[in-house]
Amino acid sequence: MNVIVNCEFRFYQTPDGNVWTPSSFKYDFWLRYTEVFDQVTVVARIKEVPEVSSDWLQANGDQVSFHALPHYIGLIGLISSLPKLIKSLKTIIKSDGLLLFRVPSQTATIATWLLKKNRPYAVEVIGDPYDVFSTGVGGKLAAPFLKAFSTRTLQKQCKNALGASYVTQYYLQNRYPPGVNTIANFYSSIMLDETQIVDTPRTYQAKARKLVFVGSLEQMYKAPDILLKAFAKLVNEDNHYQLTMIGAGQHLPSLEENAVQLNIQNNVNFVGEIKSNEVISYLTQADLFVLPSRTEGLPRAIIEAMAQGLPCVGTIVGGIPELIPEEFCVPADDVESLFTVLSKLCNNVDELTNQSAVNLEKSKQYGNQFLSEKRKGFYQALKDQYTEIHRKN
């Protein structure tokens, strides 16, 4: 059986027909679906390019093919590409196979509008549009409408789905509950190879002074601006604090300016974008991980930090409270609370050692083998139910 997976990520295609990714969703990612399904067709925006960049990774391969959607960017691009987009989506949803939408997704929203009532589909819920648009994305006028529309759409998609999986254990399910007869499960889309999880927790002999942050700076979802303000207060207490910020995006220059204005430019190292396999080396060198996000699903960065035995501080958004204890989760956009929790934890050697052990143990739930079994069980249940529906029809 074929599974048709919708994905919001944008890919590139060379003249030889191969599809490439600059970062996420390389070929190995799609093989998780082939543990149950015979073939995977990925539906995504694809741009044709004459050649491959040296750092790109191949996304297609044996059992994994792609169906190209127009390579639009932004709302204006969506509107201008809408006729071609609808035509392409109509073609793919008529194909044989189980439709599986990774949501929230603009193209998945359009696709579900186009579906006939008896056409079953499933969803993998990987984020929360309510939180995203609550940050003001889309502008002051459009954001409230987009938040309400996107939230209602995702609620309806989950309610009417044949199956729904969630990356959180409780958070997303409460806001976007599955239907009465919907096959429901939860598992992270983040999987750690066992080699990414250290054998033993850390034992702290000194106070934590080396902090690390990992997150995209393309949007301000991860609240790096709030982190810099809280960190400046830490530096005012003790100039030995150092912060490494890993990530790139349009806001990087302004954040570097903020560091100068806060007089912490000598205490902050903006690393920029690095390859995923290089992140661990920075985590290994750090004493504590901090991610003061304004919106989240279930952040990979925190899980990877936990797997290195790092104590973590985050915010009370998305699935973060499902990962780290509540005393180390602060309200979003609260500089003072973030500073207070960081200062308290960084200066408590015993608690640092304790949190290293707690976090390392928690990270094991995101090991490859553990999650593979849960995900495989969900896919198998979908396949069985889809086959039964077709048998009756």
With 90 as the cut, is the pLDDT of residue 16 above it? yes
Which tokens go with 30? 């799609």
Contact 2, 96 (CB under 8 A): yes
Interval 359-375: pLDDT, tens? 999 998 888 877 888 89
- Rg over alpha carbons for the chain, rounded to the nearest Å, is 22
Do 235 and 114 fall within a single domain? Answer: no
Do 17 and 144 fall within a single domain? Answer: yes
Do 228 and 133 fall within a single domain? Answer: no
Nearest to 206 by CA among 386, 33, 346: 346
Which helix (H) or strand (E) segment is 211 a member of? strand 210-214
Interval 86-143: pLDDT, tens? 999 999 999 999 999 999 999 999 999 999 878 999 999 998 898 878 777 667 777 8
- The CA distance from 242 to 269, in Å, is 8
Claim: this prediction has a pTM higher than 0.95 = no
Interval 160-198: pLDDT, tens? 999 999 988 888 999 999 999 999 999 887 778 778 899
Do 208 and 341 fall within a single domain? Answer: yes
Do 37 and 132 fall within a single domain? Answer: yes
Whether the link from the prior residue into 104 is cis, omega within 30° of 0, is: yes
Contact 182, 162 (CB under 8 A): yes
Write the DSSP assignment of 275-313 as a string of letters. Answer: -GGGHHHHHHH-SEEE---SS-SS-HHHHHHHHTT--EE
- The CA distance from 55 to 23, in Å, is 9
Do 176 and 318 fall within a single domain? Answer: no
Which residues on neighbouring strands pair with residue 326, listed in sequence order? none
Which tokens go with 126? 């990987």
Do 351 and 371 fall within a single domain? Answer: no
Do 184 and 53 fall within a single domain? Answer: yes
Strands of the sheet with 312-315, listed across from one edge: 268-272, 242-246, 210-214, 288-290, 312-315, 329-330
Which tokens go with 260? 């100068």
- How large is the average pLDDT for residues 194-213? 94
Contact 217, 224 (CB under 8 A): yes
Do 199 and 330 fall within a single domain? Answer: yes
- The CA distance from 359 to 303, in Å, is 8
Q: 117-126, 139-148, 222-231, 297-306: lowest mean pLDDT where? A: 139-148
- The CA distance from 121 to 113, in Å, is 12
Interval 336-350: pLDDT, tens? 999 999 999 999 999
Total of domains in the chain: 2
- The CA distance from 56 to 53, in Å, is 5
Which helix (H) or strand (E) segment is 350 a member of? helix 349-363
Do 286 and 377 fall within a single domain? Answer: no
Interval 230-263: pLDDT, tens? 999 999 999 999 999 999 999 999 999 999 999 9
Do 110 and 220 fall within a single domain? Answer: no
Do 239 and 340 fall within a single domain? Answer: yes
Q: What percent of the chain has pLDDT over 90?
A: 78
Domain that holds residue 332: 194-366
DSSP 103: E
CATH code: domain of residue 6: 3.40.50.2000
Contact 91, 44 (CB under 8 A): no
